[in-house]
Structure 1
Amino acid sequence: MNAIVRGGWRDRILMAALTLVALAWMSPLLWVLGLSFKPNMFLQTRTDLIFSPPFTIANYFDIARVSHVFRWLANSAIVALCQTLGVLVLSSLAGYGFARTAFPGRKILFVIVMFGLAVPGQLTFIPLHRLFADWNLQNTYAGLVLPGVAAPFGVYLMARYFRAIPVELEEAAMLDNASRLKTFLLVILPQTLPAQATLGIFTFLSCWNDYLWPLVIGTKPEMYTLTRGLASTQTNFAQSEGLGFLMAQAMFAALPALTIYVFFQKYLVAVAVGKGR
């Protein structure tokens, strides 16, 4: 009985500690959210009273009045979804190839792919920009999507996950005269749903929040992504004259990403603890 009581107290203390950590982690987000509902004139004098009047939703209406904002939102959605789909397809095929097939130079090629994890993306900006400019892909969806489709981390994650799937599943399917492609699509691939969801979430969020590559490849306002477009509306005095509008922009840009994460976070947990396979 005493052990049960001690265990209960430990659980409560742990939960209280985790709650405090969560509140500390969320405090910047809550601060941004509170400032987004404050009048800009009020924020010129003080920014500490975020949960007391006055409040306003004018900052969010000001976003809607920006001429291209919904085009930028659509651009971000198109680019993020297409890039996520491309990463999932290519990473699954490459990961399965490295994990399940034997071909000459497989280990060396896998090491070369892993070297891609050590190369900062900024180092490839100049050659990529020149390449896409020569191909006339500036200010196009292809130019925004294609550089992010090559994902060494996705290949590594999927190869690791495929190796953890029992080989007997494939052997049983092939004994029933199923081809390798059919075995991959109908037997093996469904087993990797948690890894697919995790990779999809990371890819989508990374693409949605990307600013540097859209800044380089998209120069026309109608081809801006949301992060690039909202940044273009900020003046040199945004922090002093339009802080509420600036915070509303941040919340507007972050809301789709937060929604995606909330709905798919169970798959992140499943991969982290090794379940769902």
Structure 2
Amino acid sequence: MAAPLVWTLLLSLKNNAELVGNSGAALSGPYTLENYVAILGNDRTLRWLLNSVIVSLGTTVGVLVLCSLAGYGFARLDFPFRRTLFTLVLLGLAIPSQAVILPQHQLFATLGLHNSYPGLILPGLITSFGVFFMTTYMRAIPKELDEAAMLDGASRFTIFWKVILPLTVPAQSTLAVFTFLGSWNDYWWPLISATRSDMYTLTVGLASSQMNYAQTSGLGFLMAQAVFASIPIFVVYVIFQKQIVRAMAGTAVR
């Protein structure tokens, strides 16, 4: 698993001219940061990076809000057809996104949402896994906490906001990381929805560079773009790794 990552990093540190005839030149020096300097001076790459940040953060925030509310409803409330609706949510785990891509594309085209941030974010808010994950986590929280809060006159929303939600921070952190990584690495929907280069996310933009500009920009520059795109993912995981371990361990125990 580490070998391709190390190879990509070595290629990104080499002069493009040295790699034209032999990519094996990456195994020996000298190494340079000129490809990374070129990235920082390339408005197109920075635009793609900004698009990915906006889409990934927007999707992550939306998923946390919707899944937390849905999870609380399924785990703590009694309402008609609760089991049936939750079963439908679980069935959503078995439906691949490719199965609904045609009606989804037609719907967003009719609404005029292609080549826009809402068009890139909204499909990512539909996540059966997130609802299932938050429901499972909230079910393990003792219901005596709700009853005690009700005796103090707290409303349902107050219980959700001040009692239950703070206890689910590890689960929310895990869901946030998974959602952010999934949105950041998503290639399928941005490729379909974004047809203008200024609305490309980083994954689509890098792919277009590889297809159209690999010979002119150079292999080293292309690999530097790949490394540059991976830095935010690495940073997010390092920051939230403790919460991820706590959430997964807690879920396994429950």
TM class by shorter chain equals: over 0.9
| 4+ aligned runs moved over 6 Å, structure 1 | none
**Counterpart amino acid of 2:29?**
P
Q: Does 1:206 align with 2:209?
A: no
Q: TM-score, normalised by structure 2?
A: 0.93
Percent identity at matched positions? 55
Q: Does 1:52 align with 2:31?
A: no
Deviation per CA, 1:182-236, whole angstroms, max 9, x where unpaired? 0110001100000000000000011011111111111112211111122222245
**Counterpart amino acid of 2:235?**
T
Distance in 1 between the 2:135 and 2:153 partners? 25
1:39: how far off? 1.6
Give the secondary-structure state (helix, strand or coil) at the position aligned to 1:68.
helix
1:48: how far off? 4.0
- Across the aligned residues of Structure 1 and Structure 2, the Cα RMSD in angstroms comes to 2.0
Distance in 1 between the 2:232 and 2:213 partners? 27
Residues 119 and 145 of structure 1: is their aligned pair in 2 closer, same or farther, counting only changes over 3 Å?
same
Distance in 2 between the 1:160 and 1:65 partners? 47
Superposed, 1:1-277 pairs within 5 Å as 25-48=1-24, 50-235=26-211, 238=214, 242-274=218-250
Give the secondary-structure state (helix, strand or coil) at the position aligned to 2:210.
coil
Give the secondary-structure state (helix, strand or coil) at the position aligned to 1:234.
helix
Could you tell me which runs of 5 or more consecutive residues in structure 1 were left unpaired when the two chains were aligned.
1-24
Per mean C-alpha deviation after superposition, the further-off stretch among 175-184 and 37-46 is 37-46
1:261: how far off? 0.7
Distance in 2 between the 1:125 and 1:242 partners? 34
Distance in 2 between the 1:30 and 1:162 partners? 41
Distance in 1 between the 2:245 and 2:73 partners? 26
Looking at CA atoms only, which structure, 1 or 2, has the larger radius of gyration? Answer: 1
Deviation per CA, 1:69-119, whole angstroms, max 9, x where unpaired? 222211111111111011001101111111111111111111111111111
Q: TM-score, normalised by structure 1?
A: 0.86
The answer (yes or no) to whether the contact 1:43–1:244 under 8 Å persists in 2 is yes
Residues 239 and 167 of structure 1: is their aligned pair in 2 closer, same or farther, counting only changes over 3 Å?
farther
1:41: how far off? 2.4
Distance in 1 between the 2:215 and 2:149 partners? 62
The answer (yes or no) to whether the contact 1:218–1:224 under 8 Å persists in 2 is yes
1:122: how far off? 1.5
1:241: how far off? 7.6
Equivalent residues, number: 253
